Structure 1
């Protein structure tokens, strides 16, 4: 493609109907899907794989070399899924030898000045707020929302449909379906508004609330609470997702909810 005042490396693979604005830079070993828009002064670096109908706003840098001193120049990638919006000055690093790729899923919104570090795995339909800083190897489930200026420790896992309040310091794993707030970051209830918007019915939401009452409000440690949940609550996709998340948490989950904090 011949884009006036933009640089497109001749080895880059650019699909039909891609718009590349003046002063954008597209490096070699880049693939961009149909209908995507690349804004002025955006830089798409080697290893980028950008899906269809994406919008990459001015100043964004996709697939930059990882900010990891262990990186030894291995050939890795950064994936941006279809229909995802990357706003101004977002940076997405490509992977390292750990996972060989960084992924931001489809239908996501990554707001201005956010950073998605090497080997992060962000699911589909996620919202990453302004200036969220995500360290390496973070995993974010589908439909999660991370509010502005939050900082995510490396290797943290955030479950699907979780909501994290603005300015949070996320040092522990955040289970699915919950709201996380306070300092230190703690369980603050179920993300019921988000769940209803996504088609969850009252019975499902009540079942999720019951799981977290047993997990966080029963005076049990996590292992005891999970055993009790399995005995007392009927199997369901949501119940089992929570149990598997907590059992497989590498960093441990956030603190629970205490009655004295209810007000």
Structure 2
């Protein structure tokens, strides 16, 4: 497919012959564009950016531009976009801020219009960002997660895999895998629809639901609830939640929307300890 005659392409760029570069596109610097990728009108690709195969980059998108970091001095850093990713209108993705560091977008991701991915973020495969999502620097979003429209995520926050974040939510702390978040730092349920679509077994979904109840609804102190959960999980899904929570965290683990430690909650948690071993 052709490079449109109005496009401006740097001599250092490497464009696969099967890629389609649309009108008024600017490709500045040693950008690499993979086979079958379509770059539409007025998109801007720059820096040490690598675009995979069969991607779509829609009008006005900016990929690989300088990070919004006053400490950045123009050093070589990277932006990598995985195969099959769709980047819609006026999305902005900035490259890494430290020398040799990278912003990484996985395969088959879908970044909807006006979403922003700041420097050094990492999006695993199949992540979806709805319109207007704002990810600050060093955010990590796990595979298969969905972040709703105009949600904002604080720098260094980790979001586990197969998570659902509601529109307009604000996260300043890490959200464990398979959960649903809403409002400001509130874990409100599990992403049961997403788990079913991902092929989780009823036993795995049951354990994720029980983990949510123990962590967020039992009224137990969060640290104690984690230790107890670690002693009773038996599926990969349950073990993954424990693993995520116990990994090093800059922001800490979200523990919003907790039940109060009333006598009824304590009684419930005692019942729950028994029920986990199994129903």
CA contact (8 A) 2:3 2:20 kept: no
Q: 1:36 to 1:2 in 2, by over 3 A?
A: closer
Alignment of 1:1-263 (within 5 A): 2-97=3-98, 100-182=101-183, 184-234=184-234, 236-248=235-247, 249-258=249-258
Q: Runs in 1 of length 4+ with deviation above 3 angstroms?
A: 256-260
User: Would you say how many aligned residue pairs link Structure 1 and Structure 2?
Assistant: 258
Gaps of 5+ in 1: none
CA distance in 1, matches of 2:30, 2:54: 19
Q: 1 CA distance for matches of 2:89 and 2:170?
A: 23
Aligned-residue offset at 1:93: 0.3
Secondary structure of 1:216's match? helix
Per-residue deviation at 1:255? Answer: 2.7
CA distance in 1, matches of 2:60, 2:96: 21
CA distance in 2, matches of 1:10, 1:99: 22
CA contact (8 A) 1:132 1:148 kept: yes
Given that 2:233 and 2:239 are in contact with CA atoms closer than 8 Å, whether structure 1 keeps it comes out as: no
Q: CA deviation at 1:259?
A: 5.2
TM-score of the two chains, using structure 1 as the length reference: 0.94
Root-mean-square deviation over aligned CA pairs: 1.5
Larger radius of gyration: 2
Q: Distance in 2 between matches of 1:239 and 1:220?
A: 18
* Unaligned ranges ≥5, structure 2: 261-279
| Paired residues of 2:3 and 2:22 also in contact (CA < 8 A) | no
21-30 or 243-252: bigger deviation = 243-252
Q: Following TM superposition, by how much is the alpha carbon of 1:105 offset from its aligned partner in structure 2, in angstroms?
A: 0.7
Structure 1 pair 98–216 and aligned structure 2 pair: CA distance change class (3 A): farther
